[in-house]
Amino acid sequence: MNASNHVRIVEVGPRDGLQNEKAMLPAAVKVDLIDRLSATGLQTIEATSFVSPKWVPQLADAAEVFAAIRKAPGVVYPVLVPNLQGYERALAVGATEVAVFTAASEAFNQKNINASIDASIDRFVPVMERARADGVAVRGYVSTVLGCPYQGEVPVADVVRVAKRLHDLGCHEVSLGDTIGVGTPAKARAMLRAVAAEVPMAALAVHFHDTYGQALANILACLEEGVRVVDSAVSGTGGCPYARGATGNVASEDVVYMLHGMGMATGVDLDRLIDTGAWLAAQLGKDTASRVTRARTAA
């Protein structure tokens, strides 16, 4: 279905991971984290978020962090922006790619950002227009694609509609997120297939949380379906404040281990990634959620 054996990992730990960790890391540690990640061979590292510090105090130092990281050649550092104000703050410190976000669940959007899906999209239409004029690439996130903590089931048609809208608006890539980690492989595959009927597979990414332990199986199903971009977070940091259970993003180490074991290429040096994950867990003062890092660093 897709003969390419190259998978691009979008490392979201510094943003999606850290924004949901209790520990507040100093800006210098975040910079160190991103610089370490840049040395692993990752091609895309989501560096931070320019949402309001009132919403996400963990990333209030976004401008300071972004300005300080070493921009490695060939690595892209997208940042999350909620609106034009965030976009301008990001561009002021040199961001060259941004990400916007909405959800496929009406209830989630209402509770999360107090807007309907359509209103949430309207909010970043000016971002898309400015980005096009500035030559800035925009990534789009669709969350709750396999379930919502408020409305439960999310119709696949809603996921397709929202993903297509983001793509039509100019997002070069649309990341489909199982925010609360409830999805299972057959549902993940069916959802991806439905979206890929409207948006080119090459413009799609998958984003799984491991709350129910299903993330790698879901990624496998989506790889079989043809996707070649996978979001993950080193050390499995994060978690969704709206989802029960403490588990966060699928760990990048575990994804890379699976992909390399399957003969897929990521360009990532797994040993360096494991070292970085173990180092991050120590900085956060918690056990790593990566099984691979646990197995490799056990006595």
Question: Which residues participate in catalysis according to the annotation?
Answer: 240
Q: Which amino acid is at 50?
A: F
Q: Binding marks (x or -) toward its own copies, 127..166, rule CB under 8 A?
A: ----------------------------------------
Give me the DSSP letters along 144-213: -TT-BTTTB---HHHHHHHHHHHHHHT-SEEEEEETT----HHHHHHHHHHHHTTS-GGGEEEEEB-TTS
Tokens 């998958």, located at residue: 206
The count of residues interacting with its own copies (CB under 8 A) is: 37
213 binds its own copies (CB under 8 A): yes
Residue with smaller CB distance to its own copies, 76 or 221 = 221
Give me the DSSP letters along 122-139: HHHHHHHHHHHHHT-EEE
Q: Binding marks (x or -) toward its own copies, 221..260, rule CB under 8 A?
A: x---------------------xxxxx---x--x--xx-x
211 binds its own copies (CB under 8 A): yes
In the complex, what is the shortest distance from the CB of residue 238 to its own copies, in angstroms, rounded to a whole number? 14
- Find out whether 251 and 199 touch, Cβ atoms under 8 Å: no
125 binds its own copies (CB under 8 A): no
Residue with smaller CB distance to its own copies, 177 or 181 = 181
Burial of 267 (0-12, 13-18, 19+ CB in 10 A): middle
- Single out the residue of 67, 262, 265, 282 in contact with its own copies (rule: CB under 8 A): 262
- Give the range of 15-23, 135-143, 164-172, 210-218 binding its own copies by CB under 8 A: 210-218
Where helices occur in 197-288 by DSSP H, the ranges are 215-225, 252-261, 270-284
